[in-house]
Structure 1
Amino acid sequence: MSTRLRLRQLEALECVAETGSMTRAAEVLGISQPAVSRLLSDLASEVGFQLFDRRDGRLVPTQEARFLLPDIHRLLEMLDHIGEVSRNLTVRKAGHLRIACLPGFATSHLPEVLAHFLSDRPGVTATIEPDRPERILEWIVGEQYDFAITDNFDAHPAVTSQTIKIRSVCIMPEDHPLAARDVITPADLADEKIIHTRRDSGFYRELNEAFLSNGVEMTSIVEARQFTAACELVLRRVGLSVISELDAAGYVGRGLAFRTFAPSVPHRLALVRPVNKHPSMITLEFMEIFRDSLRAFEQA
């Protein structure tokens, strides 16, 4: 007996068993009655036994056919489920997103964008994994994550990336005297204690150069990797800071003010994904939506 039974044969068997008639089964399946008869004849030849007996004008499954029907029903249900999942994937309603990000993004901006994205996609799930840029790059090169949000990114042959320049601002308590100004310069910060990112970061090097170019030496008080940590410290009046406007905006109405910083020192954010891992439609759509969420903060 061949094990290469055709799906249409199994559908015909189940439908005739349920309706008791080849004519009604043909109507349900949308094919002709002779076509149903041929499918069942071929199936009977394949399995090597009779499939139906006729009783009182109705087709009734034989004992052997009744034995097969539960498995056939489960198989057809499974195929229907696979078809539904496939349709959901096509319309971006199902799937799983694995997102790596800088620690600050795990608690600011990303959750809001992701929550909105998931709200009308009940079949989509997500993983968020925050870590330092070096670790994020390892994950993306190793194809462990679909998409990542990072900075301090240097080109890598196994990674495709898009760099976005986010405006930077000077942050201060709302009642600080500098809050009365529209633009803050290094000269305005000459007597202020500065909270800044790690000294080995590209952002710190550019910021320090901006100070030195204006004849001002930055007075360091705290070195912090995350901009959100800088915001919390400024709120506690430890010092002032120059950070991404994206992070500063999350503290509006919480006692923090921010003003334009000049000269411009943008925070270079990188959106990255593996080159050799074919992205799902869900991944591509989320990347596009996340990219759009940054436009309001992008440096012209």
Structure 2
Amino acid sequence: MNFRQIEAFRAVILSGTVSRAAELMGVTQPNVSRLVGELEDAIGFALFDRVKGRLIPTPEAQAFFRDVDASFRGLDLLRSSAARIRDFGSGQLRVASLAAAGSTIVPRAITKFRQSYPTAIVTLSIMSSAAVRNHVVDGEFDIGLAADEVDLSGIDHQVFGSFPALCAIPPGHRLAAKKVIRPEDLHDVDYVALSPEDRARVQFEALCSAVQSKPNLVIETSFGITACALAIAGVGVAIVNPLAIDGFAERGLVLRPLEPAVYFKSYLLFRPDMQKARLVRAFVSALMEIRNTRPSVVQNT
């Protein structure tokens, strides 16, 4: 039993005649009859009764056809899948992101991306930068967005952006009256710090040390969004990634630039074992467009 024999059998069932089946398959009528006969020999039972030159499906043929037709529907699905991969890539995009961007810029990029690829399925997971790097390297995600403290060896990457840090100040705090915050302003001020390995934190604390300013560390958190939430709750002043501030200024959080500037640098990470698929390239383009058009920071007065 082979595929061509099955195809001939299905064509006869669907068309009702050998001549029409031959037209559908692009072969002669004797070829169709031969293929059907070979199939009957292979499976061991008759598929058609020959009545006055016509082929009438036997009950066994009708039962067999149900499975044959299901198999062909499966082939149609495979053809559709192949077409989607050819036209759009894999049809599924798996994205891992650091928290600062994962609830702000990445969702907007997904909205932009889906305008061009509405049928693509996107999986978005928020995790630490180290976890983003490891999951991308392991092939579990197609693209990652991570901070610059991650190990970039052995992974395809490109710079996503370098963003000047902001000082997040609780409403009513005495520093809210300042237009610019300097390291010396934070001496003995309650301070919400990011994780010790965060390079922006390292830059900021080095600037403080240079002018003998000693902020009062009260809490550490790995996520910029959490730092903003702690600041607006009055826990302390935080140094935050501007990608993480969406909605906080409208709720009353005071945001001020730092001088000298401290930068949050981030990278796009890609699986090292494969060339970038079309969906990945399209999503990177959407991310870059959103990055370039994001609104300027709102600064409360």
Contact 1:104 1:226 in 2 (8 A): yes
Deviation of 1:132 after TM superposition, in Å, equals: 3.0
Structure 2: give runs of 5+ residues left out of the alignment: 297-301
Deviation of 1:79 after TM superposition, in Å, equals: 0.5
Letter in 2 for 1:230: A
Match for residue 299 of structure 2?
none
| SS of corresponding position for 1:144 | coil
**TM-score, normalising length from structure 2?**
0.78
Contact 1:17 1:59 in 2 (8 A): no
Matched, 1:206 2:199: no
Greater Cα offset, 203-212 or 15-24:
15-24
Matched, 1:5 2:15: no
Deviation of 1:161 after TM superposition, in Å, equals: 1.6
Question: 1: distance between equivalents of 2:265 and 2:196?
Answer: 16
Deviation of 1:80 after TM superposition, in Å, equals: 0.7
Match for residue 267 of structure 1?
264
CA spacing shift, 1:281–1:79, aligned 2, 3 Å: same
**TM-score, normalising length from structure 1?**
0.78
Deviation of 1:110 after TM superposition, in Å, equals: 3.5
Match for residue 221 of structure 2?
224
| SS of corresponding position for 1:294 | helix
| SS of corresponding position for 2:245 | helix
Match for residue 156 of structure 1?
153
Matched, 1:145 2:141: yes
Deviation of 1:206 after TM superposition, in Å, equals: 1.0
CA spacing shift, 1:167–1:44, aligned 2, 3 Å: farther
Percent identical among aligned pairs is 22
Match for residue 14 of structure 1?
10
Question: 1: distance between equivalents of 2:278 and 2:36?
Answer: 39
Question: 1: distance between equivalents of 2:29 and 2:178?
Answer: 82
1:75-224 mapped onto 2 (5 Å cutoff): 75-92=71-88, 95-114=91-110, 117=113, 121-122=118-119, 124-126=121-123, 128=125, 130-151=126-147, 152-157=149-154, 159-163=155-159, 164-176=161-173, 178-179=175-176, 181-190=178-187, 192-213=189-210, 216-224=213-221
Deviation of 1:267 after TM superposition, in Å, equals: 0.5
Contact 1:52 1:60 in 2 (8 A): yes
Aligned counterpart in structure 2 of residue 251 of structure 1, from 248, 251, 276:
248
Letter in 1 for 2:269: V
Matched, 1:42 2:35: yes
Contact 1:94 1:124 in 2 (8 A): no
CA spacing shift, 1:35–1:256, aligned 2, 3 Å: farther
| SS of corresponding position for 1:276 | coil
Letter in 1 for 2:2: R
Greater Cα offset, 234-243 or 211-220:
211-220
CA spacing shift, 1:244–1:127, aligned 2, 3 Å: closer
Question: 2: distance between equivalents of 1:35 and 1:124?
Answer: 45
Question: 1: distance between equivalents of 2:40 and 2:258?
Answer: 79
C-alpha RMSD over aligned residues: 3.4
Letter in 2 for 1:42: L
Greater Cα offset, 259-268 or 208-217:
208-217
Question: 2: distance between equivalents of 1:43 and 1:89?
Answer: 35
Question: 2: distance between equivalents of 1:141 and 1:226?
Answer: 22
- Deviation per residue, 1:234-276 (Å, 9 max, x gap): 1112222221111123423111132322222111112212211
Deviation of 1:127 after TM superposition, in Å, equals: 5.2
Deviation of 1:83 after TM superposition, in Å, equals: 1.4
Greater Cα offset, 222-231 or 177-186:
177-186
CA spacing shift, 1:92–1:177, aligned 2, 3 Å: farther
Structure 1: give runs of 5+ residues left out of the alignment: none
Number of corresponding residues: 290
- Deviation per residue, 1:173-231 (Å, 9 max, x gap): 45555445543332443463322212332221111223344564444332222111211
Contact 1:16 1:22 in 2 (8 A): yes
| SS of corresponding position for 1:252 | coil
